[in-house]
């Protein structure tokens, strides 16, 4: 029930907050506070679902383009083999949000037993719907911070 409420709230937030801004109205540069909150909320939703191994929910945060080329089973395999830090995360922080070439980019630091891993998330905007296109590992600090 909590998941249904959370998904409903996220959908409402995305549709009510972002319906006024289309890609044509957005300008390249740093995200506004509202855009930053929407992007970070979307990424948080996916990371939190991954940590709970709620695979279908996590997959639903991906863009239609991503989902058309990657099945749910392939998504699970890639996360479980290459992005274990998202499953085992002990917290994450957002570092910067920009909008360029019709895509949002957000830098995310994920803490896990392996240390700190920096990821660059790219999200597309389809009408008023955000979707994760990719999450690229920028660097990984394999030592835990003291």
Burial class (CB in 10 A: 0-12, 13-18, 19+), 135: buried
Answer for the pair 110, 96: CB distance below 8 angstroms, yes or no: no
Q: Judge whether residue 105 has pLDDT over 90.
A: yes
CA distance 35 to 137: 23
- Enter the pTM of the model: 0.78
Rounded to an integer, the average pLDDT of 75-91 is: 96
- What domains are defined for the chain? 2-141 (3.10.450.50)
Rounded to an integer, the average pLDDT of 55-79 is: 97
Q: Angle formed by the axes of helices 33-51 and 2-18, to 10°?
A: 160
- Within a 13 Å sphere around the CA of 45, how many CA atoms are in the beta-carbon half? 28
pLDDT value at residue 25: 59
pLDDT class of 145 with cuts at 50, 70, 90: very low
Q: Judge whether residue 19 has pLDDT over 90.
A: no
């Amino acid at each position: 029930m909590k998941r249904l409420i959370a998904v409903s709230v996220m959908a409402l937030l995305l549709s009510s907050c972002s319906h006024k801004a289309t890609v044509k109205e957005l300008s390249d540069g740093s995200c506004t506070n509202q855009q930053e909150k929407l992007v970070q909320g979307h990424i948080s939703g996916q990371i939190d679902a991954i940590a709970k191994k709620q695979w279908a929910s996590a997959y639903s945060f991906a863009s239609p383009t991503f989902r058309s080329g990657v099945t749910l089973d392939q998504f699970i395999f890639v996360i479980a083999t290459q992005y274990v830090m998202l499953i085992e995360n002990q917290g994450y922080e957002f570092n910067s949000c920009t909008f360029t070439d019709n895509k949002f980019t957000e830098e995310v630091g994920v803490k896990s037993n392996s240390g700190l891993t920096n990821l660059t998330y790219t999200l597309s905007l389809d009408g008023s719907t955000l979707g994760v296109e990719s999450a690229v590992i920028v660097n990984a600090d394999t030592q835990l911070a003291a």
